């Protein structure tokens, strides 16, 4: 297949046996201001297939003067996305755009689509550079491809940053190749041809000297344009001023399928003989099976075909999921201990406080602010229940799952099954959300284990309770902050962030860094500290600034939930900024503006202040808050208004949790070049909803080694009655012609803004999040059996 072709070792190889190449014809016009000359590969294939060749573009941060300037932090100079771009660049030429005889173009993107709209943005890139209607572009998800090394990881808000240039390059080279082929066929200069809507045209119907009209569709030229071998080719990318697709608001290409039920997710796939399968799980995290006392009896239950003990539970396979639930509830299992059986919220918090790194700057001849903030465990559960399909045979295996790191999944599943990596095919399917959960392949690995033990294909689904109690969590953390100030200046800012261990066993998407992160001596901690250093930096000139991480190696099932460390770190920082402004007699906005280092943050701040009417008169108990954050080469200002009056806090919603309500929210974002402004708006809205949950309502309560939450009914993620009636997103015209990362960018500033607004509305500094964590608010489901009985009315519960 062309996707597996490798770039030529000799990049100077000529194109003498192929149609003549002309860089100008990629756009139908000579190279001019704003255009960019690029190189790609014509890949050996029956129809036209094109890859990209490129290196890493350097990126730097802007800074401004202040009274006590702070030196740049690591993330200001080289951030996580820069590292991912650098890692992905060597294999960029191995991803390819294909042109088919029916006139469509296709691209198997080596990333995961989990609702973020990535496939729409990629289709827009191809449609733009090829002058092809958007509906003629087919974007699918690539299977696991070990040859891509670090170029098949979805995370760090990096997908658009890393593939924007390679995909556009491949598409531009494809269009140039098609034009050159038409020019050769017609014996005319390529520069006189034009392209539009997948058709190449020569001449003019108006008789203006352009000669007789000739035209050809891309499909009619696809075979003739194909290359017999892999060679280099040049093209010219369009300048932003020429864009007609990129930069325009577009609906998602899968929107109609999504709302009509035609969109296929993992559980919708029909794999022959892959029957419903579920698992009875232990009453503590990572517990083990000691004995199954009634396996034979359960096998005889209606519809049940198989029962098998696995690493962390007992699997049952049946004709329906309802039969599986009945069977797993009937199992009589003796359990072994888990990995955190004695841990609860209080014990974890005590260990984090004990492990906190010391604050170093003494408040000599200055005043200080010291504060400690606690952030509870949060669930990584996506809306879609975890699922995977596995068909394991003696000599091969095939897996279907939503995976953000499929190369690592393929290798580790192969090792567990005792098969060569090449004998395991991993298909990446679209997921109904992720929030970092699908960086881990434990569900796919579990399905493979079950299939191997049963000797049959399985369609594994976790229950909602499984998701919350045995799934991945965002670790509890404590952030200690000290700021010193004198004579109208901030002299130092220290932040010591201590967390339960965040599992980075997925590495950067391939086995080298994945293995390094699993090393027993400081492997995961070293990886975590690197991620922290490349994502966390203070945007303010606060003199001597240090932000350090320490993690406690508790064996919870954790992961990098959306925005990793930033929401908690930024929330603590922005609360301290408000407190500094108050102590120094300054308005919070004016104070921020004076000390900001980044011109982009000043611009989004100024826009937020104007559009959000900062400082307007509000009744007692209602207040505004503002939060700023820069990451992934983007910048966001969030301005919210929160109502903390008793009549709002104590309002009743049937089966719902209320409390303070954000009534207005404004998100102002500079994400560089906005590929799809409508998609960017959606990302900001999603980030705000995550922030509302983290600040006000959503957390896990750990008791005796397991979360008490067992369903969405208990995990109080943002509901309609807690969302702001007024929400606006302002997309700033980015100064850069490249996209910044945006998928996670909105969470941290919105979380901070909500916390700051709450502090101003109540007159108290919140130090524990979410603010309702001290109240349980529900009756926990039993720990045994691990999955509740299916509801009989289909209305009362959403387990």
Exposed e or buried b per residue across 628-665, where buried means at least 16 C-beta atoms within 10 angstroms of its C-beta: bbbbbbbbbbbbbbbbbbeebeeeeeeeebbbbbbbbb
Q: Identify the pLDDT of residue 8.
A: 35
Residue written as token pair 């989004």:
604
Q: Distance (Å, rounded) from C-alpha 466 to C-alpha 324? A: 14
Residues 659 and 510 in one domain: yes
What are the C-alpha distances in Å from 742 to residues 118, 144, 223, 635?
A: 11, 25, 38, 9
Q: Distance (Å, rounded) from C-alpha 716 to C-alpha 445? A: 29
Residues 691 and 633 in one domain: yes
Contact 694, 435 (CB under 8 A): no
Last residue of a domain, one of 428, 461, 494: 461
**To the nearest whole number, what is the mean pLDDT of the chain?**
90
Give the domain extent around 270: 266-338+386-461
- Look up residue 54 and give its two tokens: 């490129």
The answer to whether residue 165 sits within a structural domain is yes
Give the lowest-confidence range in 48-62, 67-81, 289-303: 48-62
- Write the DSSP string, 778-789: SPPPPSSSSSPP
Q: Distance (Å, rounded) from C-alpha 675 to C-alpha 740? A: 10
431-450 tens-digit pLDDT: 999 989 999 999 999 999 99
The answer to whether residue 683 sits within a structural domain is yes
Q: Identify the pLDDT of residue 298.
A: 98
Exposed e or buried b per residue across 308-317, where buried means at least 16 C-beta atoms within 10 angstroms of its C-beta: bbbebbbbbb
40 pLDDT exceeds 80? no
Q: At what angle do helices 442-454 and 406-417 cross, to 10 degrees?
A: 30
The answer to whether residue 261 sits within a structural domain is no
- Give 138's strand partners: 106
- Give 459's strand partners: 276, 389
Q: Identify the pLDDT of residue 10.
A: 34
Q: Distance (Å, rounded) from C-alpha 189 to C-alpha 199? A: 17
Q: Distance (Å, rounded) from C-alpha 338 to C-alpha 706? A: 9
Q: Identify the pLDDT of residue 87.
A: 84
371-417 tens-digit pLDDT: 999 999 999 999 999 999 999 999 999 999 999 999 999 999 999 99
Q: Distance (Å, rounded) from C-alpha 221 to C-alpha 281? A: 57
Average pLDDT, integer, range 472-490: 96
What are the C-alpha distances in Å from 624 to residues 608, 609, 688, 756, 770?
A: 12, 11, 15, 8, 18
Describe the strand order of the beta sheet including 275-280 as a list of residue ranges. 304-310, 313-318, 275-280, 458-461, 387-392, 397-401, 424-428
> 262: buried, middle or exposed (CB in 10 Å: 19+, 13-18, 0-12)?
exposed
Residues 718 and 765 in one domain: yes
Last residue of a domain, one of 436, 461, 486: 461
3-class DSSP state for residue 138?
A: strand
Q: Identify the pLDDT of residue 574.
A: 98
Residue written as token pair 């409508």:
678
The answer to whether residue 75 sits within a structural domain is yes
Q: How confident is the model at residue 90 (pLDDT cuts 50, 70, 90)?
A: confident
Residues 29 and 127 in one domain: yes
318 pLDDT exceeds 80? yes
Q: How confident is the model at residue 535 (pLDDT cuts 50, 70, 90)?
A: very high
Give the chain's length: 799
Average pLDDT, integer, range 662-686: 97
Q: Distance (Å, rounded) from C-alpha 157 to C-alpha 563? A: 8
721: domain CATH number is 3.30.365.10
The answer to whether residue 451 sits within a structural domain is yes
Q: Identify the pLDDT of residue 9.
A: 36
Residues 290 and 238 in one domain: no
Phi, psi (rounded to 5 degrees) for 103: 90, 0
3-class DSSP state for residue 748?
A: helix
Last residue of a domain, one of 404, 431, 461: 461
Q: Distance (Å, rounded) from C-alpha 39 to C-alpha 84? A: 21
Residues 750 and 662 in one domain: yes
CA 278, 283, 287, 292 torsion: positive or negative? Answer: negative
Q: Identify the pLDDT of residue 57.
A: 39
Q: Distance (Å, rounded) from C-alpha 322 to C-alpha 189? A: 67
Residues 356 and 440 in one domain: no
194 pLDDT exceeds 50? yes
pTM of the model: 0.92
Q: Identify the pLDDT of residue 65.
A: 42
291 pLDDT exceeds 50? yes
3-class DSSP state for residue 247?
A: coil
Integer distance in angstroms from the first to the last C-alpha of the chain? 43
The answer to whether residue 776 sits within a structural domain is no
Average pLDDT, integer, range 169-177: 94
**Number of domains forming the structure of the chain:** 3
The answer to whether residue 538 sits within a structural domain is yes
- Look up residue 258 and give its two tokens: 């999504």
Residues 432 and 556 in one domain: no
3-class DSSP state for residue 139?
A: strand
Q: Distance (Å, rounded) from C-alpha 143 to C-alpha 403? A: 10
Residues 496 and 421 in one domain: no
Q: Identify the pLDDT of residue 794.
A: 60
Contact 2, 43 (CB under 8 A): yes
Average pLDDT, integer, range 776-797: 83
Q: Identify the pLDDT of residue 602.
A: 97
E strand intervals along 311-381: 313-318, 333-336, 367-375, 378-379
Residues 687, 688, 691, 692: what is their CA dihedral angle, to the nearest 10 degrees? Answer: -150
The answer to whether residue 186 sits within a structural domain is yes
Helix runs in 17-153, H state only: 74-77, 80-88, 118-130
pLDDT above 70 as % of the chain: 91
Q: How confident is the model at residue 53 (pLDDT cuts 50, 70, 90)?
A: low
What are the C-alpha distances in Å from 501 to residues 86, 348, 474, 554, 555?
A: 27, 11, 9, 6, 8
Contact 274, 389 (CB under 8 A): yes
Residues 676 and 576 in one domain: yes
Residues 402 and 548 in one domain: no
Q: How many CB atoms neighbour CB 299 within 10 A?
A: 14
Contact 450, 277 (CB under 8 A): yes
Q: Identify the pLDDT of residue 564.
A: 95
Average pLDDT, integer, range 236-242: 94
Residues 637 and 678 in one domain: yes
> 74: buried, middle or exposed (CB in 10 Å: 19+, 13-18, 0-12)?
middle
């Amino acid at each position: 297949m062309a996707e597996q072709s490798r770039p030529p070792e000799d990049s100077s190889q000529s194109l003498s046996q192929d149609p003549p190449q002309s860089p100008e014809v990629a756009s139908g016009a000579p190279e001019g201001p704003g255009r960019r000359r690029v190189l790609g590969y014509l890949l050996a294939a029956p129809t036209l297939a094109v890859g990209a060749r490129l290196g890493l573009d350097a990126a730097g941060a802007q800074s401004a003067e202040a009274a006590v300037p702070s030196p740049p932090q690591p993330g200001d100079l080289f951030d996580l996305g820069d590292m991912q771009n650098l890692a992905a660049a060597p294999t960029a030429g191995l991803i390819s755009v294909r042109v088919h005889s029916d006139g469509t173009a296709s691209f198997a993107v080596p990333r995961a689509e989990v609702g973020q709209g990535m496939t729409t943005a990629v289709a827009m890139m191809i449609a733009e550079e090829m002058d092809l209607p958007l509906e003629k572009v087919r974007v699918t998800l690539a299977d696991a491809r070990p040859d891509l090394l670090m170029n098949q990881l979805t995370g760090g808000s990096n997908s658009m940053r890393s593939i924007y240039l390679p995909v556009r390059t491949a598409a531009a080279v494809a269009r140039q190749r098609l034009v050159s082929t038409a020019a050769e066929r017609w014996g005319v200069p390529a520069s006189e041809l034009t392209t539009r809507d997948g058709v190449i045209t020569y001449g003019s119907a108006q008789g203006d000297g352009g000669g007789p009209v000739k035209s050809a569709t891309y499909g009619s030229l696809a075979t003739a344009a194909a290359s017999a071998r892999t060679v280099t080719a040049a093209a010219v990318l369009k300048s932003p001023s020429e864009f007609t697709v990129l930069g325009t608001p577009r609906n998602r290409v899968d929107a109609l399928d999504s709302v009509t039920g035609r969109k296929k997710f993992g559980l919708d796939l029909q794999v022959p003989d892959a029957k419903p399968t579920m698992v009875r799980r232990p009453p503590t995290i990572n517990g083990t099976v000691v004995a199954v006392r009634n396996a034979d009896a359960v096998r005889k239950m209606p519809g049940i075909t198989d029962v098998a003990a696995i690493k962390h539970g007992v699997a049952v396979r049946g004709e329906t999921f309802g039969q599986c639930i009945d069977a797993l509830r009937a199992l009589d299992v003796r359990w072994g201990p888990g990995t955190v059986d004695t841990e609860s919220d209080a014990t974890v918090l005590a260990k984090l406080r004990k492990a906190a790194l010391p604050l170093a700057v003494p408040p000599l001849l200055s005043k200080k602010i010291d504060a400690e903030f606690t952030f509870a465990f949060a669930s990584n559960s996506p809306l879609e229940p975890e699922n995977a399909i596995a068909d394991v045979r003696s000599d091969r295996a095939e897996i279907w799952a939503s995976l953000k790191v499929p190369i690592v999944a393929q290798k580790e599943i192969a090792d567990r099954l005792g098969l060569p990596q090449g004998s395991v095919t991993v298909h990446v399917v679209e997921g109904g959300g992720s929030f970092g959960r699908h960086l881990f392949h434990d569900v796919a690995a579990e399905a493979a284990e079950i299939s191997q033990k049963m000797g049959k294909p399985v369609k594994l689904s976790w229950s909602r309770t499984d998701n919350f109690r045995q799934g991945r969590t965002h670790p509890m953390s404590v952030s200690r902050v000290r700021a010193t100030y004198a004579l109208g200046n901030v002299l130092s800012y220290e932040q010591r962030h201590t967390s339960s261990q965040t599992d980075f066993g997925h590495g950067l998407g391939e086995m080298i860094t994945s293995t390094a992160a699993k090393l027993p001596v400081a492997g995961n901690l070293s990886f975590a500290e690197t991620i922290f250093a490349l994502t966390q930096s203070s945007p303010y000139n606060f003199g001597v600034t240090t932000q350090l991480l320490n993690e406690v190696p508790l064996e919870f099932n954790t992961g990098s939930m959306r925005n990793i460390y930033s929401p908690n770190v930024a929330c603590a920082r922005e609360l301290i900024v408000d407190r500094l402004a108050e102590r120094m007699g300054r308005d919070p906005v004016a104070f921020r503006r004076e000390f900001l280092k980044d011109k982009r943050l000043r611009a989004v701040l100024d826009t937020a202040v104007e559009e959000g009417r900062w400082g307007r008169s509000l009744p007692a108990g209602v207040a505004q808050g503002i939060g700023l954050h820069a990451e992934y080469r983007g910048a966001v200002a969030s301005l919210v208004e929160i109502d903390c009056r008793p009549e709002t806090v104590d309002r009743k919603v049937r089966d719902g949790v209320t409390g303070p309500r954000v009534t207005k929210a404004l998100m102002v974002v500079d994400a560089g070049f906005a590929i799809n402004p409508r998609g960017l708006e959606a990302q900001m809205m999603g980030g705000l909803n995550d922030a509302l949950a983290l600040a006000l309502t959503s957390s896990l309560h750990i008791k005796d080694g397991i979360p008490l939450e067992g369903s969405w009914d208990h995990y109080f993620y943002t509901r309609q009655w807690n969302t702001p009636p007024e929400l606006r997103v302002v997309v700033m015209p980015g100064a850069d012609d490249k996209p910044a990362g945006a998928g996670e960018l909105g969470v941290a500033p919105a979380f901070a803004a909500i916390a700051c607004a709450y502090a101003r509305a109540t007159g108290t500094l919140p130090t524990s999040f979410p603010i309702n964590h001290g109240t349980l608010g529900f009756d926990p489901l039993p720990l045994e059996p691990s999955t509740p009985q299916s509801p009989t009315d289909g209305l009362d519960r959403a387990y």
